[in-house]
Amino acid sequence: MDFQQIFGKPPETQASAPGRVNLLGEHTDYNDGFVLPTAIPQSTKVQLGLSSDSQHHFYSENLNEQVSILDINHTPSGFASYIFGCIQVLQTAGYTIPSLCVYVKSSVPMGSGLSSSAALEVATLRAVRQLLNLPIDDVEIAQFAQQAEIHYAGVQCGIMDQMASSLADTEHILFLDTRTLERRVMPLPEKAEILVIDSGVPRTLASSGYNQRRAECEDAARSLGVKALRDITDVEVTEKLPEPLHRRARHVVTENNRVLEVLQGVSSVRFGELMNASHASLRDDYEVSVPALDILVELLQKTPGVFGARLTGAGFGGASVALVAVGEARSIATHVLEQYKQAGYNGQILVPSLELSDAA
């Protein structure tokens, strides 16, 4: 089923946005900290047309689900909440948005920590900008997307995912200061490529655990008398905090310092060491890993050709990311997934994408 078949006419415009994987700087964005994401090849495409009635109509090809908005005072659930949120934040900002038909198709894996929601938001906003010729830039697109997720999807997210989807590409790393939005495009580490493997474990506690960690960080910042944990650079300062706030804050401070070290320029080997340290911190201090992810990451870290590996995304399941020798990602993934299966788990390679390379 395409746009024409669903809505009875061809689309008037379309836009797309990629998912992202975060190489370093996990759970630092809502602490005003520093992050290092990059875009992945998989993307979400949104096609738009004007609605012939006074209602919005949204269709997801992946879910084979159609939603019509009968009451703009009631936020729909599921995929429609993100699209509806984007429309509403634009209206709140003073733009007049007509009733729309929206068709969504995505190759970004859902539930793996690769920001399928941010890709949907950014693609939707890009398409609306194009359709109505709105005077908003790519940073504003990311900010509107974040507001849509917070106020309409109910996730108290930082801005990293939306900034990465709006500004990053697959050939570079995006350094981002989430407080000032200062950013720098950096090359991938020399003679290295990115490998992303899904653990096969759904992120069952991701939103509840995420919101709890965010609250703990806010408590820690208050106790230390700072606006956000980003303002602490000496990890020893966190030792005065009670548990678990001490460990939560220690992760954020050390994680920010790892990102800032990369900003000064490091080798692929050192970048990998920092990724390994990041995973240990996420596992032990931030407590957002799960046994399957720990096994998968350990298998990756032990494999020749892997510089470093860690969980990526909110945790509690989802995917791992590794920095590996260029040209070796697929063979490393095959080797690791065989061992992972012997340990009783079923994972799958997400990047490099088998589907996209076959199509090419």
Q: Is 161 a catalytic residue?
A: yes
Instruction: Specify the DSSP class assigned to residue 191.
Output: T
Q: Could you read off the pLDDT of 295-345 as tens digits, one per residue?
A: 999 999 999 999 999 999 889 999 999 999 999 999 999 999 999 999 999
Q: Is the peptide bond before 41 cis (omega within 30 degrees of 0)?
A: no
Co-location of 307 and 230 in the same domain: yes
Does the residue 357 lie in any domain? no
Do 272 and 346 fall into the same domain?
Answer: yes
- Same domain as 116, residue 34: yes
Q: Using the 3D structure, point to which of 153, 187, 221 is the last residue of a domain.
A: 187
What's the rounded mean pLDDT across residues 55-82? Answer: 93
Residue 243 forms part of a structural domain: yes
Q: Which of 29, 32, 161, 177 is catalytic?
A: 161
User: Residues 163, 219: one domain?
Assistant: no
356, pLDDT greater than 60: no
Tell which residue, 187, 198, 161, 157, has the closest CA to residue 176. 161
Q: Looking at the structure, do residues 55 and 174 belong to the same domain, yes or no?
A: yes
Residue 358: inside a domain = no
Residue 209 has pLDDT above 90, yes or no: no
Instruction: Please identify, among 141, 159, 187, the residue that sits at the C-terminal boundary of a domain.
Output: 187
Q: Would you put residue 191 in left (φ > 0), alpha (ψ -120 to 50) or beta?
A: left
Q: What is the pLDDT of residue 357?
A: 43
Please check whether residues 209 and 341 belong to one and the same domain: yes
In contact, 174 and 325? CB cutoff 8 Å: no
Instruction: Identify whether residues 227 and 84 lie together within a single domain.
Output: no
* 305 and 210 both lie in a single domain: yes
Helices (H), 225-290: 245-263, 268-284
Please indicate, yes or no, whether residues 312 and 167 belong to a single structural domain of this protein: no
- CATH code at position 344: 3.30.70.890
- Look up residue 143 and give its amino acid: Q
Q: What residue numbers bound the domain in which 110 lies?
A: 3-187
Asked whether the predicted pLDDT for residue 177 surpasses 90, the reply is: yes
What pLDDT does residue 358 have?
38
CB–CB of 269/307 below 8 Å? yes
Number of domains in the chain: 2
249 is written with which tokens?
């804050």
Residue 167 lies in a domain: yes
Residue where a domain stops, chosen among 133, 157, 187: 187
Contacts for 110 with CB less than 8 Å, ≥ 6 apart: 62, 116
Which pLDDT does position 360 carry in this prediction? 32
For residues 224 and 242, is the Cβ–Cβ distance under 8 A?
no
Q: What is the pTM of this model?
A: 0.90
Residue 282, classed as helix, strand or coil, is helix
118 band by pLDDT with thresholds 50, 70 and 90: very high
